[in-house]
Copies of this chain bind each other. A is one copy, B any other.
Amino acid sequence: MFIDRLIEKIRTTNNPTVAGLDPKIEYVPDFIKSQKFDAFGVTLKGVSEAILEFNRTIIDSIYDIVPAVKPQLAYYEMYGVEGMRAFDETVKYARDKGLLVIADGKRNDIGSTSEAYSHAYLGESRLNEHTATVAFHTDALTVNPYLGIDGIQPFLDDCKKHEKGIFVLVKTSNPSSGQLQDLLLQDNRTVYDAVADLVITWGKDLIGAHGYSSVGAVVGATWPVQAKELRQRMPFTYFLVPGYGAQGGTAQDIAVNFNQDGLGAIVNASRSLMCAYQSERWKDSFSPLQFGDACRMEAIRMRDDINAAIGGSHASL
């Protein structure tokens, strides 16, 4: 089960966090950009080679202290086909280092099309009657619930068949998430409550050895009150929690996403890790050449900050 692999990695590293790999070219230090632009020109290829080199160093710097990485597909699609090649190479590199890889794509569509997305990120793509192959070697995918079960079932099938996972958007971290998600239904649930109830149902056949499902939920760190309600509503759902750090969520805000067992959530940070070398906290200690070291220090600080807020070590559980 994906969720058991994730929990075991969280325990081994004593770290309930995931490093977001959302490499805008602005985040990449000049020395890498100069090198790659000299070699490949100021082109989509040049940018993609730069972000791949950047990602490799980030991964080298943290692979032994974080359980997983979460590349955000938008930042690779933004650089076209070459960007998607950088995504593919990043995924393989992270996987070779033993990291779990959560593709953040918020994908969804009608059943037959969701099946294609599922084959792309969680399953295998059929080439002819005899041959199928893996398109992208990711372990889990974020998905959108708007189309109901038809759009989710293909992912559930691949989660079972290939030991993969999904995280379904429930309550997102952005300021306007309430515009649709907080609307009140006639049965007094919010729309996000209704989605939460669907996610519980969708995950029932994918509960692993630790009592959690491989069908998780995205619950933003910026909404602690709602997260607390959702934590009670969805006891066996793992939460992927974006919004820590640059988006304003604190470790205290995040603590409510965890259960008493110290499990139940994995917290994402992207910019605060990738751009640690530019931050007030670390910029006097590390030069841009040392961006990997700055990222590692920030990853350790984040781990300890969150472990302190949730009251202890996962290794001891």
A63 at the interface (CB under 8 A from B): no
The answer on a CB contact under 8 Å between B43 and A127 is: yes
The answer on a CB contact under 8 Å between B25 and A146 is: no
The answer on a CB contact under 8 Å between A150 and B176 is: yes
The minimal Cβ–Cβ distance linking A166 to chain B, given in whole angstroms, is 15
The answer on a CB contact under 8 Å between B113 and A74 is: yes
The answer on a CB contact under 8 Å between A78 and B125 is: yes
Within 8 Å by CB of A128, from B25, B79, B106, B174, lies: B25
From A178-186, A232-240, A281-289, A298-306, give the one contacting chain B.
Answer: A178-186
CB-defined interface of A91-119 with B at 8 Å, one 1/0 digit per residue? Answer: 00000000000001011111101101101
The answer on a CB contact under 8 Å between B127 and A180 is: no
A interface size (C-beta, 8 A) = 75
Closest to A180 in B: B148
The answer on a CB contact under 8 Å between A77 and B135 is: yes
Closest to A116 in B: B74
CB-defined interface of A130-156 with B at 8 Å, one 1/0 digit per residue? Answer: 110101100000001111111100000
A311 at the interface (CB under 8 A from B): no
Residues from chain B with Cβ under 8 Å of A111 in the complex = 174
Known contacts A25-B127, A42-B128; is-contact A176 B149 (Cβ 8 Å) = yes
Closest to A137 in B: B80
The answer on a CB contact under 8 Å between B106 and A144 is: yes
A194 to B185 Cα, complex, angstroms: 11
Within 8 Å by CB of A126, from B25, B84, B194, lies: B25
A241 at the interface (CB under 8 A from B): no
- What are 10 A-B residue pairs whose CB atoms fall within 8 Å in the complex? A25-B128, A72-B109, A74-B113, A74-B114, A77-B135, A79-B125, A81-B81, A147-B172, A148-B180, A180-B195
